[in-house]
Structure 1
């Protein structure tokens, strides 16, 4: 089932669902003719769309709103924070082309700080499906919730079949004693490749799909940190405020620590190109991920000269 098919099915079954867009119909091209007045295009006015969605939510509706991720999170930030977050209204934010999925676009259209921005708003939940199968398994519960929600929409098709979704729970793909990769969204595909390459080198490798970023599965993070010699956070997001920061917060909250290798964009936007070229140029292909992990392990597992201990 596709995103549009799921949304159509949901809206037809529940007349309180309103579909809105700020002139971004890529995900919902067929819905105007199906929903009639329950499809609203406000034009290139993300702030107006969020304000109107909040008004509809106050009247018992569930608006599912669509816009490019960069504009939905930044141009309309104050409206999401003030009209939706503070009021705790069930407005559902469908974020189009987040992270590396904005491949051909420059910095103005790249949403690589969106997780940080949205999770900082009280009451707003944050989700990042790994692919289309994950997406359609997650959205029914996200849309049924009475909380506002931000979802990184990812309609890429993969062969992986995901487990049923529970908000606040990560999807543990495998457990490993040497390395555990924590990731979300698009890079789940590349993580799968990296895992197989690392296993071929004789490593015990875990992989966790952190599909729910707020609420986050603290126990999954703590367990991986305790079981694995190395935890890798992998994300198409700035280093600040994303999964690496979330992991740090969880470890500090529970007064523990771990050996963590972050793979993220460190205060720079990515070079626009077709997606395969973006991944390779920025160092996020499965092969490059595996090589970085192996290189890190080699560099940090060198024999150390120990200072003898003296008893008094």
Structure 2
């Protein structure tokens, strides 16, 4: 089943659902003829679309809105925050080409801070499916929830069959005592490759598809921290505010610590190219990820020792 087929099926079964777009019809191009007046294209006006969606939600509708992730989260930020988040309305935000999926686009079209800014909005939930199978398993729960939601849309096919989805729960793919990779979205498929590389090196490797970033599965993070000598946060997002920050917040909340290697974009946008070339150039292929982990483990074989310094 595709994204459009799922949305069509869901909308035909529930007349409360309204499909909206800011002139981004790539994944919903057949819906105008099917839904008629329940399909609304506002043009390139993300702020207007969000304001209209909030108004429809106040009238017991469930708007599923579509735009490029960069513009949906940044250009319309104030409207999402004020009209949707603060009001706690069930508007469902579908962000197209997030992270490295915006491979051929420059910085203006790269959504690599979207997780950070969306999870800071009150009441808004945040999700990042690993691939199309994960997306199709996740969206029915997300759309059925009364909460506003932002989802990184990812329709890539990986051949991996995911477990059923529950909001606030991660998918534990494998457990490991040496290394556990925590990731979400597009880089899940590269994490699978990295896992196999590391296992060939004799390491016990775990992999967790975080998929639900707000609410996040705190138990999964804490279990991984207690079971593995090293946690790796892997994401096509800026280092600040993404999964690395989420893990730090969880560990601090529960008076815990861990050795954590973040693999993310740090203070720079990625160079536009075809996706395989972007991954290679930025160092995010499965092989490169495994090499970074092996290099880190070589430098730090012992568990962290904290020596607090106090001054009077």
Q: Could you report, residue by residue, the CA deviation over 1:177-203 in whole angstroms, capped at 9, with x for unpaired residues? A: 000000000000000000000000000
State the partner residue of 2:289.
Answer: 289
State the partner residue of 1:251.
Answer: 251
Q: Could you report, residue by residue, the CA deviation over 1:162-221 in whole angstroms, capped at 9, with x for unpaired residues? A: 000000000000000000000000000000000000000000000000000000000000
Q: Could you report, residue by residue, the CA deviation over 1:256-291 in whole angstroms, capped at 9, with x for unpaired residues? A: 100000000001000000000000000000000000
State the partner residue of 1:172.
Answer: 172
State the partner residue of 1:45.
Answer: 45
Q: What is the alpha-carbon distance in structure 2 between the residues aligned to residue 242 and residue 57 of structure 1?
A: 29
Q: Could you report, residue by residue, the CA deviation over 1:103-160 in whole angstroms, capped at 9, with x for unpaired residues? A: 0000000000000000000100000000000000000000000100000000001110
Aligned-partner SS, 2:250: helix
Q: What is the alpha-carbon distance in structure 2 between the residues aligned to residue 216 and residue 8 of structure 1?
A: 29
State the partner residue of 1:264.
Answer: 264
State the partner residue of 1:118.
Answer: 118
Q: What is the alpha-carbon distance in structure 2 between the residues aligned to residue 76 and residue 162 of structure 1?
A: 32
Within the alignment, does 1:74 sit opposite 2:74 as a pair?
yes
TM-score of the two chains, using structure 2 as the length reference = 0.96
State the partner residue of 2:195.
Answer: 195
State the partner residue of 1:183.
Answer: 183
Q: Could you report, residue by residue, the CA deviation over 1:37-86 in whole angstroms, capped at 9, with x for unpaired residues? A: 00000000000000000000000000000000000000000000000000
Q: What is the alpha-carbon distance in structure 2 between the residues aligned to residue 158 and residue 70 of structure 1?
A: 24
Counterparts of 1:78-93 in structure 2, within 5 Å, are 78-93=78-93
State the partner residue of 2:58.
Answer: 58
Superposed CA RMSD in Å reads 0.6
Q: CA deviation at 1:27?
A: 1.0
Q: What is the alpha-carbon distance in structure 1 between the residues aligned to residue 146 and residue 258 of structure 2?
A: 35
Q: What is the alpha-carbon distance in structure 2 between the residues aligned to residue 73 and residue 278 of structure 1?
A: 23
Q: What is the alpha-carbon distance in structure 1 between the residues aligned to residue 294 and residue 131 of structure 2?
A: 27
State the partner residue of 2:20.
Answer: 20
Aligned-partner SS, 2:155: coil
Q: CA deviation at 1:299?
A: 1.3
Count of matched residue positions in the alignment of Structure 1 and Structure 2: 302
Q: What is the alpha-carbon distance in structure 1 between the residues aligned to residue 281 and residue 262 of structure 2?
A: 17
Q: What is the alpha-carbon distance in structure 1 between the residues aligned to residue 190 and residue 157 of structure 2?
A: 13
Q: What is the alpha-carbon distance in structure 1 between the residues aligned to residue 203 and residue 26 of structure 2?
A: 42
**Tell me, which stretches of 5 or more residues in structure 1 are unaligned?**
303-312
State the partner residue of 2:225.
Answer: 225
Q: CA deviation at 1:301?
A: 2.4
State the partner residue of 1:34.
Answer: 34
Displaced runs of 4+ in structure 1, greater than 6 A?
none
